[in-house]
Structure 1
Amino acid sequence: MLKMILSGCSGTMGKVIDHCTAERNDIEIVAGIDLHTGSDHSFPVYPSPEQISCSADVLVDFSNPALLNPLLEFGKKTKLPLVLCTTGYDKSQVKALQEASGEIPIFYSRNMSMGINLLIELAKKAERVLGSSGFDVEIVEAHHNQKIDAPSGTALMIADSIAEASGKQMHYLYDRHSQRKKRSVREIGIHSIRGGTIVGEHRVLFAGPHEVLTISHSAQSKEIFAHGAINAAVFLARKEKGLYSMADLIQEED
């Protein structure tokens, strides 16, 4: 059985992963990382990764971007594969994890849902077919009122994939209240909604001459992200150093 360290174990997603892991017989949590060490867990919880002394096969992180550097250092020191599910990394942090993947296996995705990653593949296909036919792209994402970052990491992941598929230098416009000009043809609009207990909704609109194509995904439970993270941990534990994503996991399952 694989041994996993869970970073952010006392948070909302950490608790869901704890519950989902307990229902499996191929992986178990042997330690947690969280500032709230007094929570009721069946495993020891430490406030920082460097305090962990037990051995493990993989670490899954659903915490805060501020913890990335300590996790990377811990991973490189112990040669431990890292599944990084936290959103909100800036460009320098993404660069840092990419560089660390030259020493250890790292799985990085801003969304652990299989459905979202299929949406991305469909959106890339739509851009390749419709992009040269005057279709504009708009992305609308909605999440619960406790989410801190906006736009969501998933919305940016979708936009990045569409921009790459277009083969052009695209500009992201966040909302339009400050704009008093016509829409640019090399623009992707990204809009955020925060309210209630919305788990996660993403819509991609391809608006063209006299027709609109909409690709959408609605997450009904946080368990889809938990199962995705656990599956990524099982996948990564047997990989060599390198940077992996949900696309690699989907391809292996095919």
Structure 2
Amino acid sequence: MLKIALSGCNGRMGHVIADIVDGKKDMNIVAGFDVNTTKSGAFPVFADPFEFTGECDVIIDFSNASSTEHLLAFCEKKHIPIVICTTGHSPEQLQKIREASAQFPIFRSGNMSIGINLMMDLLRKSAAVLGDGFDVEIIEKHHNQKLDAPSGTALMLADAVSEALPYDANYEYDRHERREKRPPHEIGIHAVRGGTIVGEHSVLFCGRDEIIEIKHSALSREVFAVGAVDAAAFMATCSQPGMYDMTDVIASK
């Protein structure tokens, strides 16, 4: 039986993950971590991970970037693998995650959807073929409660495109103060926030008299929760420290 600790258990994604795990016979949630300690499931909830004295095989984190460092300290002390689904980390926080991965296994992805990760492969192939003959623009849309902008997924997609381009791309988030033609070697990234949009990401390759658009739409948060649970099952088998991502999960299948 896979024992999971769920960080951010009382958030939107936490509730979805708890429902999915509840329907599985080979795993269960043994503890929740959240600043809101309301008990809504069959497991205890702790404001501080260090208050939990039980055993778990893996942690799923869908909390807040501000909680990451404390959670990493807990994982290092217990030597527990972690699936970091939280986005919005600063460059300094990302560096601490990379450093911690030398001590224990860490899974991190800006998006837990298998569809998004397959989309990244398509973007790399497209960018390699289209080269510098097409301008690249990324548009991401999310609900009005999302805190970070642009989304971690948008940055993942931009990185996938940038890896395959024949030039060093500059990420441009805001053009309103500029009055000039679009430079050729930039990737425009635009964030829309409204209503209850779960998540939509479009990447446009805009050339002379033609546009290629690669798009992914998430119709419910369950697609991310399923990916997180799959990643947790995979990480529970990883004994070696290191950084893992969805490509490792897909390869394991």
Which position in structure 2 is the counterpart of 1:170? 169
CA displacement, residues 74-103 of structure 1 (integer Å, 9 cap, x when unaligned):
111000001000010011111111111111
Q: CA deviation at 1:167?
A: 4.6
Distance 1:86 1:206 in 2: 29
Distance 2:80 2:12 in 1: 24
Distance 2:22 2:159 in 1: 35
Which position in structure 2 is the counterpart of 1:246? 246
Residue range with higher mean Cα deviation, 198-207 or 164-173: 164-173
Structure 1 letter corresponding to 2:64 = N
Please tell me whether the aligned partners of residues 10 and 38 of structure 2 are also in contact (alpha carbons under 8 angstroms): no
The count of corresponding residues between Structure 1 and Structure 2 is 252
Which position in structure 2 is the counterpart of 1:235? 234
Please tell me whether the aligned partners of residues 36 and 47 of structure 2 are also in contact (alpha carbons under 8 angstroms): yes
Q: Provide the TM-score with structure 1 as the length reference.
A: 0.97
Return 5+ residue gaps in structure 2 as ranges: none
Which position in structure 2 is the counterpart of 1:135? 134
Which position in structure 2 is the counterpart of 1:40? 40
- Say what the alpha-carbon RMSD is for the aligned residues: 0.9
Please tell me whether the aligned partners of residues 138 and 188 of structure 2 are also in contact (alpha carbons under 8 angstroms): yes
Query: Is 1:226 matched up with 2:225?
Result: yes
SS in structure 2 of the partner of residue 224 of structure 1: helix
Structure 2 letter corresponding to 1:180 = R
Q: CA deviation at 1:140?
A: 0.2
Residue range with higher mean Cα deviation, 155-164 or 137-146: 155-164
Q: CA deviation at 1:175?
A: 3.2
Structure 1 letter corresponding to 2:178 = Q
Q: CA deviation at 1:168?
A: 2.7
Once the two structures are superposed, the pairs formed by residues 71-150 of structure 1 within 5 Å of their partners are: 71-132=71-132, 134-150=133-149
Distance 1:233 1:47 in 2: 22
Q: CA deviation at 1:55?
A: 0.4
Structure 2 letter corresponding to 1:178 = E
Percentage of identical aligned residues: 52
Distance 1:151 1:47 in 2: 29
Distance 1:200 1:6 in 2: 22
SS in structure 2 of the partner of residue 88 of structure 1: coil
SS in structure 1 of the partner of residue 217 of structure 2: strand
Which position in structure 2 is the counterpart of 1:199? 198
Distance 1:143 1:174 in 2: 16
Please tell me whether the aligned partners of residues 131 and 166 of structure 2 are also in contact (alpha carbons under 8 angstroms): no
CA displacement, residues 33-89 of structure 1 (integer Å, 9 cap, x when unaligned):
011112322100000111110000000000000110111111110000010000100
CA displacement, residues 167-201 of structure 1 (integer Å, 9 cap, x when unaligned):
53211111322221111121000001000000000
Return 5+ residue gaps in structure 1 as ranges: none
Distance 2:215 2:115 in 1: 10
Q: Which runs of 4+ in 1 moved over 6 A?
A: none
Distance 1:32 1:39 in 2: 9
Query: Is 1:179 matched up with 2:190?
Result: no
Structure 2 letter corresponding to 1:120 = M
